[in-house]
Amino acid sequence: MVELQDPDLKIVELAQQGSAKAFDLLVLKYQGRIMALISRFISDRGLVEDVAQESFIKAYRSINTFKGNSLFYTWLYRVAVNTAKNALSYQGRRVPFNDIAVGTDHMEDYHQELHQLDNPESHLISEQLKETLDIALSALPAELQQAFQFREFDGLSYEQIAILMETPIGTVRSRIFRARSYLEISISEMMNT
Amino acid sequence: MNVNEKLLQESFSAWLDDESDDLDMQRLVNYLQSGRNVEADLAFERQARLKDVLQGWGGHDVSDSVFKENSSRTSLALVPPSTGKWQVIKGVPWTLVASFALLVAILVPVFQQDDWIQDGFVTHAVQQQELVVETEKLASSQSRMNQYFQKHLLQSSLSSGHISLPFQTAAVMGG
């Protein structure tokens, strides 16, 4: 059996030693995914944020109970699901998710579902974002654009991209980072206007 | 952005993608163990946010509120059991301290009631007075019994052949 290497382990260890800053990195990495997960069961946007916040606070307070038997994200996922269940129970609503499987395949499923989440406001933002991204992406050098699209839109690993683009993995890493740096400036400018 | 800063941000980018290697992790650990780095903090936040937006996970951010909440709280889980902080308080075992505190908590409200002491003394005094009265009564009847027996013995010795129980004698004598 192949043992999974947890990419978060060292950061989690620092958080277990009391580093709030280390835990903050974990929040930055996973908050979007956790909010997306909770959004599947709770439609009220404000409540989703409250439950997400509560999930991370619970996770921080009980982080020493994480023993590394699973990936950190799997553990965090369970904390979030239980917190969402409690929030729904408190509201006297039926809990619709008794047997949620945690796994990579399942993650892919909900990523797809999240793209389908729709309301007028998010639709407008998505349209604006899409437009901004298209413009920003088209302004990128071709090799950066290609590496970034392989990663973000096709979900390929760095190794797969390196094979496809016939370049070393280090170059792929660098290209994706440069593309991301450029795009983040474009997105920030759009969000601030 | 200097070279180190750029490498640090690239390591964070790789970590976001779950593609970090040992060197990336070492850079991130060093960053976490060093002092505040505002430029890196902001860059990380922007990168993470961009990824969330691209993945359709929305651009909402709870990291600030979580960080503030966590910084203001010390998790009990974060206190290592081996430090013994909860076992000994200034060299006194915590069980003794807890027992003493419990005892004080129970006894103080009882002693704070003035009636408790007064009632105790009054009850004791009444009981003692009653005991004295009873003893005096007992001594008096004992004395009367002695006088009666002495008188009966005297009568018995004077009238021979007439030895009977004193009550019978009294009844006969009473007619």
Amino acid at residue number A155: G
Residues 48-107 of B with CB under 8 A from A: 48-63, 65-67, 69-71, 73, 75-78
Q: Which of A6, A181, A188, A192 to mutate to test the interface with B (most CBs of B within 10 A)?
A: A181
pLDDT digits over A144-186, tens only?
A: 999 999 999 899 999 999 999 999 999 999 999 999 999 888 7
Domain A118-193 belongs to what topology?
Answer: Arc Repressor Mutant, subunit A (1.10.10)
Q: Which residues pair with A177 in a beta bridge?
A: none
To the nearest whole Å, the CA of B32 is away from the closest chain A CA by 6
Q: Where are the domains positioned within chain A?
A: 1-117, 118-193
Candidates A33, A35, A117; nearest CB to B60: A35
Place of tokens 């950190």: A72
pLDDT tens for each residue of chain B, 175 residues long: 788 889 999 999 999 999 999 999 999 999 999 877 788 888 898 888 888 877 777 656 777 777 777 777 654 444 444 443 444 444 455 666 677 777 777 777 665 655 555 555 555 666 677 777 777 777 777 777 677 666 655 554 444 444 444 444 444 444 4
Report the residue of B1, B41, B50, B74 to disrupt the A interface, i.e. the one with the largest count of A CBs within 10 Å.
B50
* Pairs across A and B, CB distance < 8 A: 149
| CATH fold label, A1-117 | Rna Polymerase Sigma Factor; Chain: A (1.10.1740)
Which residues contact residue A23 at a Cβ distance below 8 angstroms, ignoring those fewer than 6 apart? A15, A56, A59, A60, A63, B67, B70
C-beta atoms surrounding A150 within 10 Å: 21
* Tens-digit pLDDT profile for residues A111-130: 444 444 445 555 666 677 77
Which residue in B has a C-alpha nearest to residue A191's C-alpha? Answer: B59
Assembly ipTM: 0.82
d(CA A63, CA A60): 5
- Minimum-distance CB partner of A176 among B13, B59, B78: B13
Distance of CA B71 to the CA centre of its chain: 30
φ, ψ of residue B88 in degrees (nearest 5): -125, 130
Closest CA to A170 of A154, A159, A156, A182: A159
Q: Is the dihedral of CA A177, A182, A188, A190 positive or negative?
A: negative
Is B20 within 8 Å of chain A by CB? yes
